[in-house]
Amino acid sequence: MTEPKKRTRRKALVGVVVSNKMQKTVVVMVERLVRHEAYSKMVRCRTKVKAHDEDNRCGMGDRVAIEEARPMSKEKHWRVTEILEKAAV
């Protein structure tokens, strides 16, 4: 008998919500540091990803943890797992 296929670990990221104008969807900006090839200087790279927010709990400026998920639409492949820090109102 063959063993059942083990589920791989999902990628997890932390970012800041920059838009919550869509229903059940937030846009999260994720920053990462990358070393520039020619100058060996650390450069900040920003990536915007769309994440599923089932209960519309996230607000603008919130720090959230997101994890990789199955594709839910053309551009939405992430899911909000928790709100780490609420934005100051």
**Residue spans per domain, the chain:** 12-85
Of 89, 88, 85, give the one whose Cα is nearest residue 16: 85
C-alpha neighbours within 13 Å on the C-beta side of residue 52: 14
For 23-46, what is each residue's pLDDT tens digit? Answer: 999 999 999 999 999 999 999 999
Residue 2 has pLDDT above 90, yes or no: no
Residues 19, 56: contact at Cβ < 8 Å? no
Report the alpha-carbon distance of residue 27 to residue 7 in Å, rounded: 27
- Top pLDDT among 9 and 53 is at 53
Instruction: Tell me what pLDDT residue 31 has.
Output: 97
What is the reported pTM?
A: 0.86
Residues 80, 56: contact at Cβ < 8 Å? no
What is the dotted CATH code of the domain comprising 12-85? 2.40.50.140
The proportion of the chain whose per-residue pLDDT surpasses 90, expressed as a percent, equals 88
Residues 44, 33: contact at Cβ < 8 Å? yes
